[in-house]
Amino acid sequence: MNQERRAQWLRGVLDLCVLALLSRGESYGYELSQALRAHGLGAVQGGTLYPVLLRLQRSGLLTAHWREGGTGPARKYYRISPAGSAALRAAAVDWSAFASSVGTILREEPKR
């Protein structure tokens, strides 16, 4: 896939993807970047991911707390807030509508 285009698309939906991943359980930055990669979104670098997490946290869609790991260092864990869940539900509906519109346009047979 064209890297630049994917980065462009991702910029619009990265916050939604993060919210969706966190709606399944709390997580931290590095784990989130691994999960995004596993879902086929490629390498989302920390320089992109953390500012998004920070913005979501500042706007109250995520809560965060520091916790000592069993083996590793202390990590900042993020958890979705009720406001975040609501925002995610609304955005998910919007996204489906948007994606299906794009899909419809792309699938239409050219007229002769």
Partner 1 sequence: MNHEPWLAALTGELRRHGVGPDLTGHVVAEAATHLLDSGESPLRVFGAPETYARAVVDSLGGPDVRPPRRQPGPVRLAARGITKRYRGRTVLDRVDLTVRAGQIAAVVGANGAGKSTFLRICAGLLSPDAGTVEVHGTLGYCPQDGGTAEFLSADEHFVLIGAGRGLGRAEARRTGRAEASGLAWTPPRRTQARHLSGGTRQKLNLVLARLGEPDVLLLDEPYQGFDRGTYLDFWHEVWRWRDAGKAVVVVTHLLNQLDRVDVVLDLSGERAA
By CB atoms closer than 10 A (0-12, 13-18, 19+), residue 35 is middle
Contact segment (CB under 8 A) with partner 1 among 5-13, 66-74, 84-92, 95-103 equals 66-74
Q: How far is the CB of 51 from partner 1 (least distance, A)?
A: 4
Does 19 contact partner 1 by CB under 8 A?
Answer: no
Please state, in angstroms and rounded to a whole number, the distance separating the CA atoms of residues 60 and 81.
7
Which helix (H) or strand (E) covers residue 65, if one does?
Answer: strand 62-68
Provide the 3-class DSSP secondary structure of residue 111: coil
Q: Which stretch binds partner 1 (CB under 8 A): 18-26, 44-52, 91-99, 101-109?
A: 44-52
Binding residue count for partner 1, defined by CB under 8 A: 20
**Contact with partner 1 (CB under 8 A): which of 29, 85, 92, 95?**
29
Selected binder of partner 1 within 74, 83, 86, 102 (CB under 8 A) = 74
Radius of gyration for the alpha carbons in the chain, expressed in angstroms and rounded: 16
